Amino acid sequence: MNIKAANIEPIISPKSVAVIGASDNPTKVGHAIMQNYIDVDFQGKIYPINISAQEKIMGRKAYKSVAEVKEPIDLAVICVPAEFVPQVILECGKAKVKGVVVVSSGFAEVGNQKLQDKLEEAAKRYKLPVIGPNCLGIMDPRSKNDTLFLPTYKIERPKIGGVSFVSQSGSVGSSILDLISAEGFGLARFISYGNAAVVDEVDILNYLSHDKETRVVVFYIEGVKRGKEFAELAKKATMLKPVVILKGGTTPSGATAAHSHTASLAGSTEAYKALFRQFGFITAETLEDLLYFAKIFDTQPLTTGNRIGIITNGGGHGVLATDALYNSGLAIPELGKETQKYLRKVMPPIVNVRLPLDIGGDAGADRFSAALEALNNDSNVDAIMAITLFQTPGADEKVAETIINQGIKRTKPLVVVSTGSSYTLSHTKLIESSGVPVYESPDIAARALSALIGYSKYRKREV
């Protein structure tokens, strides 16, 4: 069934949460989920629920069922053993709970389709939006709704931002969530949806494509249940915002693995890739791509032009960037006459005034600033790749500041390449938090630019 975006909202940012299966026993998932709500400082009301509850659970007034709670419940997080889940869902429906996350596993993913069907029927009877089963659920940094049973010391929680990350797989979801926390960009919504018995890819993509907090949607999927609806929706969604997808199970062996993992029917690699292109999806080939692509789409303007201006303070990196852009189907243009004239005037004579623009290993902030400005003003250049190697004698915090300032002024996409360890990272963190994506190698930066330009063309219907 189609579930309206408005009906998913209470699951994402609820004002009150019932944890069904809450427990004082620290080895129980229900304990971890309760503890997590307390740790992340959830601002709404929390109702611990356990059929064998005494007066209190974890110091809070406990209830034997949702029926006992006489206040409105936006979200029920269910973590009781699988066999009891359908009954608990019926109780939630009766008690007018607005939405449910089923964390429990033991359904279609282990061959128990019957039990999953019962879950689905129960949800349908009350038109209850249910996420899961067999999932991690939701993390929403704004409302601090956080159904994860994985403690914050194991997974760092990302800051607030514009990227929404959706994962069919809990393991991919939690590890990417952990990686995002170390990145310069922030999270809008995290949704791990597991077996998709009720709320599925179609419902989630529909919700996020209209969600005003979400600038970029990033998806890990293993299979799509309602292919036709997904396709129709995708075409609309990708005209509203970029949607990056990594598809697991695209090979014959991978597909078999995917089936036993989330009970999805996976298609062939080529079929999916062709479809994805048609839908306007940005196809990620690897886990890392999800992050690489998310950050360029989150921060950079769209451009259909493919002429990239490389600025570098390292010759070898300039060569590798040129190779990488060429291999990604992007072009390295001639600089405009005016630009050449200007650069000849301001650069030392050793600088060869053409692309890749190697401004020398001794280049400091002045040269970077002049080069960035010149390329930003040159109509032959559509986007800029600035390679700033902080190992060189001239590169210091002033170079980072220059990039940050130019980043604010720029009208064209700008990406930075910096390869290195702690001294380098101390500067690239600043650059990233100013909204300019930094990549560790020219190859990655070239692929990110290529994704940006490809999607821009799709949006303008140029492909």
Note whether 317 and 387 are within 8 A (CB): yes
287 binds a copy of itself (CB under 8 A): yes
Termini Cα distance of the chain:
33
103 binds a copy of itself (CB under 8 A): no
- Cα separation, 62 vs 45, in Å, equals 13
175 binds a copy of itself (CB under 8 A): yes
CA 394 vs CA 366, 391, 401, 437: distances in Å: 10, 9, 14, 22
The string of DSSP letters for 428-458 reads HHHHHHTT--EESSHHHHHHHHHHHHHHHHH
SS3 219: strand
174 binds a copy of itself (CB under 8 A): yes
99 binds a copy of itself (CB under 8 A): no
Interface of this chain with a copy of itself, residues 399 to 428, rule: CB under 8 A:
419-424
- Cα separation, 407 vs 429, in Å, equals 14
Binder to a copy of itself among 130, 282, 320, 384 (CB under 8 A)? 320
173 binds a copy of itself (CB under 8 A): yes
- Cα separation, 85 vs 18, in Å, equals 14
Pattern 431-450, binding to a copy of itself, x per CB under 8 A? ---------xxxxx------
* Residues touching a copy of itself, count (CB under 8 A): 81
- Cα separation, 403 vs 395, in Å, equals 12
Binder to a copy of itself among 7, 304, 340, 391 (CB under 8 A)? 391
Binder to a copy of itself among 21, 314, 437, 454 (CB under 8 A)? 314
Closer residue to a copy of itself in complex, CB, 236/259: 259
Binder to a copy of itself among 57, 135, 325, 363 (CB under 8 A)? 325
Enter the tokens of residue 434: 């100013």
389 binds a copy of itself (CB under 8 A): yes
User: Smallest distance from the beta carbon of 267 to a copy of itself, in angstroms?
Assistant: 13
Interface of this chain with a copy of itself, residues 334 to 363, rule: CB under 8 A:
350, 352, 356, 358, 361
Phi and psi at residue 196, to the nearest 5°: 55, 45
- Please identify, among the stretches 72-80, 178-186, 203-211, 340-348, the one whose residues bind a copy of itself according to the rule CB under 8 A: 178-186
3-state SS of 159-217 is CEEEEEEEECCHHHHHHHHHHHCCCCCCEEEEEECCCCCCCCHHHHHHHHHHCCCCCEE
- Cα separation, 442 vs 380, in Å, equals 21
260 binds a copy of itself (CB under 8 A): yes
The residue length of the chain stands at 463
Instruction: Considering only CA atoms, give the Rg of the chain.
Output: 25
SS3 352: coil
Enter the tokens of residue 374: 């010149």
Binder to a copy of itself among 40, 46, 319, 430 (CB under 8 A)? 319
> CB neighbours of 284 closer than 8 A, spacing ≥ 6?
244, 245, 246, 290, 293
Interface of this chain with a copy of itself, residues 73 to 92, rule: CB under 8 A:
none
Closer residue to a copy of itself in complex, CB, 227/361: 361
Pattern 46-65, binding to a copy of itself, x per CB under 8 A? --------------------
User: Smallest distance from the beta carbon of 72 to a copy of itself, in angstroms?
Assistant: 32
- Please identify, among the stretches 61-69, 113-121, 152-160, 451-459, the one whose residues bind a copy of itself according to the rule CB under 8 A: 152-160
> CB neighbours of 427 closer than 8 A, spacing ≥ 6?
388, 390, 397, 399, 400, 418
Phi and psi at residue 419, to the nearest 5°: -105, 120
- Please identify, among the stretches 121-129, 149-157, 408-416, 430-438, the one whose residues bind a copy of itself according to the rule CB under 8 A: 149-157
Interface of this chain with a copy of itself, residues 220 to 259, rule: CB under 8 A:
220, 222, 248-254, 256-258
User: Smallest distance from the beta carbon of 26 to a copy of itself, in angstroms?
Assistant: 11
Evaluate the omega torsion of the peptide bond into residue 48 and state whether it is cis, within 30 degrees of 0: no
Closer residue to a copy of itself in complex, CB, 9/178: 178
- Please identify, among the stretches 66-74, 92-100, 116-124, 389-397, the one whose residues bind a copy of itself according to the rule CB under 8 A: 389-397
Binder to a copy of itself among 40, 46, 90, 150 (CB under 8 A)? 150
167 binds a copy of itself (CB under 8 A): yes
Closer residue to a copy of itself in complex, CB, 98/367: 367
Angle at 165 between CA 163 and CA 168, to 5 degrees: 170
User: Smallest distance from the beta carbon of 324 to a copy of itself, in angstroms?
Assistant: 8
- Please identify, among the stretches 18-26, 234-242, 272-280, 316-324, the one whose residues bind a copy of itself according to the rule CB under 8 A: 316-324
**In this structure, which amino acid lies at residue 426?**
S
